[in-house]
């Protein structure tokens, strides 16, 4: 019994050491394009955002709650500082009806007020200016697999990239899509699905949609599979997306293929069934898959695919789950441009 425990500990240490060594060599071993850490993804996200210039005042769209100053040149009696009411209107001296302000730019509102003053015979050639004193932010909620879920207070037109950057970027287990849910004027909810590859990897401006107050930006969490043993790049990998299923062959491609000493007819998948239950062990003959004698095997989130060498399969396979349970700092890799 003591001999078995000793072998398990030795194998556990061997696996942890080999994983750490692979991570230290990551910049050289990951010569093939398409894999990166979430930190690298977030760095590219921040580069795409850059330092956004404040929107020019004439481009800002007024909204309820904004405090504005209306200046009618040389007529102080008509000049005032006021706040746009919740319904989007303001009131002006000598003008009986309320004036629509929300949804207009300051320049457009100034033209509207000038037209009213002129048409009512109050001022012959009115020169009206509108200035924004303070802006009422529009809340945009960011949830899911981001570093800092938050409510983003947008005081001017804001893009999806800006909001994701403000939330600290993606977390390790972020999926490959983001969903934007919006409540329309009629009260109906609409949703839009944006590919993060189009947004970040390809820098597609059409994917960098402009958000509105009340929008909910959700980044779904994706599953992770672990690949260990006789592969060129052992580690943890985010399942590419929620459409394509991760399979054994796809997992091996992410892991850079198998090492020379790999025993392909004796691979094993360790699958967590339920807390407190014994893990399921699934034997996989990769040679048969490669020769099309059997179908490729799908992997589930948190599966461990272990490719053995000629010795030590059983002891090491049982030790892998212990490594993950210890909360080891295995770097999670994700596909770029998948």
Q: What is the pLDDT of residue 3?
A: 44
* First-to-last C-alpha distance (Å) of the chain: 47
CATH topology of domain 61-134: wza like fold (3.30.1950)
Q: Considering the domain 2-31+223-335 in this protein, what is its CATH number?
A: 3.10.560.10
Q: Write out the H or E segment, with its range, that includes residue 48.
A: helix 38-49
> 45-56+138-219 and 61-134 share one CATH topology?
no
Whole-prediction pTM value?
Answer: 0.63
| Bridge partners of residue 89, in order along the sequence | 100
Range from 12-21, 40-49, 310-319, 320-329 that averages highest in pLDDT: 40-49
Residue 20 pLDDT grade (very low, low, confident, very high; cuts 50, 70, 90): very low
- Residue 32 is predicted with a pLDDT of 41
Written as one string, the DSSP assignment of 189-248 is: EEEEEEEHIIIIIS--TTTSPEE-TT-EEEE-B--EEEEEESBSS-EEEE-S-SSSPPBH
Q: Which CATH architecture has domain 45-56+138-219?
A: Roll (3.10)
Q: pLDDT over 90 for what percent of the chain?
A: 39
Could you state, in order of their start, the residue ranges of all structural domains in the chain?
A: 2-31+223-335, 45-56+138-219, 61-134
Q: What is the pLDDT of residues 58-88, one digit of tens each?
A: 567 888 888 899 999 989 999 999 999 989 9
Max mean pLDDT among 129-138, 158-167, 320-329 falls in 158-167
Mean pLDDT over residues 274-286, rounded? 86
Q: Which residues 6+ apart lie within 8 Å of 138 measured at CB?
A: 63, 153, 154, 155, 212, 213, 214
pLDDT tens-digit readout, 160-189: 999 999 999 999 889 889 999 998 878 889
pLDDT at 312: 55
């Amino acid at each position: 019994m003591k001999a078995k425990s000793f072998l398990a500990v030795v194998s556990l240490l061997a696996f942890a050491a080999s994983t750490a060594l692979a991570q230290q060599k990551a910049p050289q071993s990951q010569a093939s394009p398409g894999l990166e850490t979430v930190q690298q993804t977030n760095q590219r996200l921040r580069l795409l955002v850059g330092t956004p210039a404040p929107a020019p005042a004439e481009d800002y769209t007024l909204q309820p709650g904004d405090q504005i100053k209306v200046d009618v040149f040389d007529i102080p009696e008509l000049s005032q500082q006021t706040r746009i009411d919740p319904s989007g209107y303001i009131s002006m001296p000598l003008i009986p009806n309320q004036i629509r302000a929300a949804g207009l730019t300051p320049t457009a509102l100034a033209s509207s007020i000038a037209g009213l003053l002129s048409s009512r015979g109050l001022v012959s050639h009115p020169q009206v200016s509108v200035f924004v004193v303070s802006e009422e932010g529009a809340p945009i909620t960011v949830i899911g697999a981001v570093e800092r879920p938050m409510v983003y207070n947008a005081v001017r037109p804001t893009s999806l990239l800006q909001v994701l950057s403000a939330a600290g970027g993606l977390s390790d287990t972020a999926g490959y899509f983001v969903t934007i849910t919006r409540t329309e004027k009629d009260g109906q909810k609409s949703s839009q699905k944006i590919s993060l590859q189009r947004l970040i990897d390809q820098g597609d401006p059409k994917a960098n949609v402009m958000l509105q107050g009340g929008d909910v930006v959700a980044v779904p969490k994706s599953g992770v599979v672990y690949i260990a043993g006789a592969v060129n790049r052992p580690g943890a990998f985010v399942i590419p997306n929620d459409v394509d299923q991760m399979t054994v062959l796809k997992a091996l491609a992410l892991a850079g293929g198998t090492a020379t000493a790999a025993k392909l007819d004796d691979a094993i998948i360790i699958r967590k069934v339920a807390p407190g239950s014994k893990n399921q062990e699934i034997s996989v003959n990769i040679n048969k898959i490669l020769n099309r004698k059997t179908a490729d095997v799908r992997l589930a989130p948190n599966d461990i695919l272990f490719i053995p060498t000629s010795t030590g399969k059983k002891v090491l396979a049982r030790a892998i789950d212990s490594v993950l349970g210890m909360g080891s700092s295995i770097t999670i890799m994700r596909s770029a441009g998948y």
